[in-house]
Structure 1
Amino acid sequence: MPLILPVKDKNPTWGSDCYIAENATIVGDVIMGDNCSVWFNAVIRGDVNYIKIGNNTNIQDGAVIHCTYMHAGTDIGNNVSIGHNALVHGCVLQDNVLVGMGAIVMDYAVVESFVIIAAGAIVLEKTVCESGYLYAGIPAKKIKPITDEQREMLKRLPNNYVMYSSWFKE
């Protein structure tokens, strides 16, 4: 069973057809939409502020979603893929975003729609990642526009995770 805990009378909630792995942790003020998946060893910790997650979003293995006490909640849009071991903290991820494996997105950053954050990149505090671009490096910098194929991948990848999660619900 996943670890699902209230914090200060706030219980995590999620919509229909979500998959939460047996060893995932979700605590506190977390609201998640429909068709989301939270994979093995992922942690969504809404203990010190809120975390809002849209529909068709996947939080992959070992990822951590957190926020900052009294300052920065975390807002994650629809059709977002957060890669293995990524850290998303007190920021905004708009729709159709990919946060690559091991990437970090820090407080008050805004990642606009149709952005790819490369694996291992670090998006510093208050950075705005402009829609339609790939960001990479430490600190993350705008590298180049995403291609039409990458834009389609950003639309397709979340649906793949809806399919993968169905294998565990059978």
Structure 2
Amino acid sequence: MEPLVLPYRGKQPRLAEDVFLAPTAVVIGDVTVGPASSLWFGVVVRGDIGPIRIGARVNLQEGVIVHLDEGFPVVIEDDVTVGHGAIVHGATIAAGAQIGMGAVLLTGSCIGAGAIVAAGAVVPEGMVVPPGTVAMGVPARVRREVTAEEREALLARARRYAERGAEFRALLAQRERGNVP
């Protein structure tokens, strides 16, 4: 099984050489994915009506959906973690941020550098989560500052997923050659 990578209306996805794409990932249209990033099983990134830009060492975990509205491109900067089952829709996520499992970022929302959106939170349209803060709830509200320990953990998590993505890429390459026990 191969990931589904499709052009749409003349826009071809552009993926760095070392991106890990799980076999069930789907990437369509005007999408750019930076080095050492990973799109895990069941991820859908659909750039059919505008651009989606994903930086370096970004990990989109299982079941993440990334889409947009006209006039609201998606930008995910470097070292971002987007947890299992989250939805990023026409949003901007600055470097080093973390989006928790099942969170929803609605059109025009902006997540600041090093911020955390808690699992299950819904960030309303146009909301700005300031850098280095934690937003939680439905609708999301900024509750506190990110601690020094959390800040270190965010970057460590991004590095671990970059390493894990490289391992899985190598494993899939071995499998294609028939070398997996």
- Structure 1 regions of 5+ residues with no counterpart? none
SS in 1 for 2:27: strand
User: Once the 2 structures are TM-superposed, how far is the Cα of residue 165 of structure 1 from its aligned partner?
Assistant: 1.3
Structure exhibiting the larger radius of gyration computed from Cα positions: 2
- Which 4+ runs in 1 deviate beyond 2 A? none
| 1:30 corresponds to 2:47 | no
User: Once the 2 structures are TM-superposed, how far is the Cα of residue 162 of structure 1 from its aligned partner?
Assistant: 1.1
Corresponding position of 1:164 = 164
Tell me, in whole angstroms, the C-alpha distance in 1 between the residues paired with 2:73 and 2:121. Answer: 21
In the alignment, residue 57 of structure 1 is paired with which amino acid?
V
Tell me, in whole angstroms, the C-alpha distance in 2 between the residues paired with 1:24 and 1:48. Answer: 19
In the alignment, residue 102 of structure 1 is paired with which amino acid?
G
Tell me, in whole angstroms, the C-alpha distance in 1 between the residues paired with 2:6 and 2:86. Answer: 22
Tell me, in whole angstroms, the C-alpha distance in 1 between the residues paired with 2:132 and 2:121. Answer: 17
User: Once the 2 structures are TM-superposed, how far is the Cα of residue 167 of structure 1 from its aligned partner?
Assistant: 2.2
SS in 2 for 1:134: strand
Tell me, in whole angstroms, the C-alpha distance in 1 between the residues paired with 2:72 and 2:98. Answer: 21
User: Once the 2 structures are TM-superposed, how far is the Cα of residue 169 of structure 1 from its aligned partner?
Assistant: 2.2
Corresponding position of 1:20 = 21
User: Once the 2 structures are TM-superposed, how far is the Cα of residue 154 of structure 1 from its aligned partner?
Assistant: 1.3
The share of aligned pairs that are identical, in percent, is 34
Tell me, in whole angstroms, the C-alpha distance in 1 between the residues paired with 2:166 and 2:50. Answer: 31
Q: What per-residue deviation string (whole Å, max 9, x for no partner) do you get for residues 92-141 of structure 1?
A: 10100100000000111111101000000000000000111110000000
TM-score with structure 2 setting the length? 0.92
Count of aligned positions: 169
Tell me, in whole angstroms, the C-alpha distance in 1 between the residues paired with 2:169 and 2:49. Answer: 31
TM-score with structure 1 setting the length? 0.97
Contact 2:36 / 2:166 at 8 angstroms: preserved in 1? no
Structure 2 counterparts to residues 79-158 of structure 1, below 5 A: 79-158=79-158
User: Once the 2 structures are TM-superposed, how far is the Cα of residue 15 of structure 1 from its aligned partner?
Assistant: 1.2
- Structure 2 regions of 5+ residues with no counterpart? 171-181
In the alignment, residue 76 of structure 1 is paired with which amino acid?
I
